[in-house]
């Protein structure tokens, strides 16, 4: 009997040693220009519901930041995450065109942004959790730059900065680099952030432009009919401007990279990058700062992870 018990104990210990150790959730702040393109809202959907994240705050950047903040507040409220603070960044000149998604939350008041400005929330949070917070910035970089101006030690206080930003060598849409939206909307701020010495990773158009939502993937979420998927579908319909348009999953890839570094890309190269005065993200061996750049998206693996997360 003793021999049998000892054998069982040894077998259990061997199993326990081989079992994967659960990873602690990644502490994140999501900095977003939610409300223009649709991928921001769908990226927030994953960040606020995945057990792989401890969402410490959502900061709002670019354009009519107060109106954008209402979308984030309503989404968080929809999935009972009203305790997550939403902080408003400085307003800037709105992009051209009408952001119909803003109408989804224009009269929403059940959750309101905190009084703290976005940059101050970033600074206070990383001071509270030094070297533990990943800042995921998927919009123009006003808030990250303003936080850096408030706290010059920010690059040594964050664990990591992950951007959806830049166009390095080309994309599915253009064989040559372009001045990417999140950079060109705030060139001076992007220059400051790229040059600051952050432990920086970027997911550029070189990868994201190859990943679009298929009709059957959208239908899977729509059919799930949870408060989250209904909200995302409503925002998607407000964003659509024609029957042939499909969402490109720019920001979602940056969120996935934050959770599982390198898993959804064929290559993650270290390149020395800088932003020039026209908003181009250049490889510059002399003056650029080392940046991890994610290339060759593994679409199928990423979409399984992403859709499973939203339908969890």
| Number of Cβ atoms within 10 Å of the Cβ of 311 | 14
SS3 call for 98: coil
Q: Which residue has the tokens 């939203």?
A: 310
Tokens of 74: 């309503």
For CA atoms 67, 73, 75, 78, the dihedral sign is: negative
Angle at 165 between CA 161 and CA 170, to 5 degrees: 135
Q: Using the 8-state DSSP alphabet, how is residue 64 labeled?
A: S
pLDDT of residue 263: 98
pTM of the predicted model, to two decimals?
0.93
Q: Which class would CATH give 21-310? A: alpha beta
| Number of Cβ atoms within 10 Å of the Cβ of 166 | 26
Closest of 104, 30, 36, 27 to residue 64, by C-alpha: 36
Q: Using the 8-state DSSP alphabet, how is residue 100 labeled?
A: G
Distances (CA, A) of 260 to 30, 67, 200, 266, 267: 16, 31, 15, 13, 14
Bridge partners (DSSP) of residue 293 are 202, 269
Distances (CA, A) of 281 to 32, 65, 205, 267, 276: 20, 25, 11, 18, 7
Tokens of 219: 């239908």
For CA atoms 282, 283, 286, 289, the dihedral sign is: positive
Strand order across the 281-283 sheet: 86-88, 53-60, 26-32, 133-137, 160-164, 200-203, 289-297, 265-275, 281-283
Closest of 169, 171, 193 to residue 182, by C-alpha: 193
Closest of 309, 180, 204 to residue 265, by C-alpha: 204
Q: Using the 8-state DSSP alphabet, how is residue 105 labeled?
A: G
Query: 152: number of CA atoms within 13 Å, CB side?
Result: 0
d(C-alpha 227, C-alpha 212), whole Å: 23
Domain locations in the chain? 21-310
Q: From first to last of its 312 residues, what are the pLDDT tens digits of the chain?
A: 545 555 545 555 555 455 445 689 999 999 999 999 999 999 999 999 999 999 999 999 999 999 999 999 999 999 999 999 999 999 999 999 899 999 999 999 999 999 999 999 999 999 999 999 999 999 999 999 999 999 999 999 999 999 999 999 999 999 999 999 999 999 999 999 999 999 999 999 999 999 999 999 999 999 999 999 999 999 999 999 998 999 999 999 999 999 999 999 999 999 999 999 999 999 999 999 999 999 999 999 999 999 999 998
């Amino acid at each position: 009997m003793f021999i049998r018990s000892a054998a069982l104990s040894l077998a259990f210990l061997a199993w326990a040693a081989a079992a994967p150790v659960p990873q602690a959730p990644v502490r994140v702040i999501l900095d977003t220009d939610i409300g223009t393109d649709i991928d921001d809202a769908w990226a927030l959907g994953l960040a606020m519901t995945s057990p792989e994240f401890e969402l410490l705050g959502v900061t709002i950047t670019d354009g009519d930041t107060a109106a954008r903040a209402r979308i984030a507040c309503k989404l968080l409220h929809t999935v009972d995450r009203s305790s997550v603070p939403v902080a408003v960044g400085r307003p800037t000149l709105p992009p051209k065109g009408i952001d119909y998604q803003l109408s989804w939350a224009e009269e929403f008041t059940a959750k309101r942004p905190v009084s703290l400005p976005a940059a101050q929330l970033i600074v206070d949070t990383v001071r509270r959790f030094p070297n533990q917070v990943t800042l995921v910035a998927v919009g123009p970089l006003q808030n990250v730059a303003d936080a850096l101006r408030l706290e010059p030690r920010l690059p040594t206080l964050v664990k990591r900065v992950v951007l959806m930003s830049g166009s390095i060598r080309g994309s599915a849409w253009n064989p040559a680099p372009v001045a990417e939206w999140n950079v060109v909307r705030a060139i001076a701020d992007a220059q400051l952030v790229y040059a600051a010495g952050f432990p920086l990773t970027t997911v550029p158009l070189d990868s994201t432009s190859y990943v679009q939502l298929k009709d059957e993937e959208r239908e899977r979420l729509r059919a799930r009919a949870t408060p989250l998927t209904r909200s995302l579908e409503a925002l998607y319909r407000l964003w659509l401007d024609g029957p042939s348009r499909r969402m490109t999953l720019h920001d979602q890839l940056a969120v996935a990279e934050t959770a599982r570094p390198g898993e959804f890309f064929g290559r993650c190269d270290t390149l020395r990058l800088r932003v020039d005065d026209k908003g181009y993200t250049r490889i510059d061996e002399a003056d650029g700062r080392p940046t991890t750049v994610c290339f060759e998206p593994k679409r199928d693996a990423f979409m399984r992870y992403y859709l499973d997360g939203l339908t969890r």
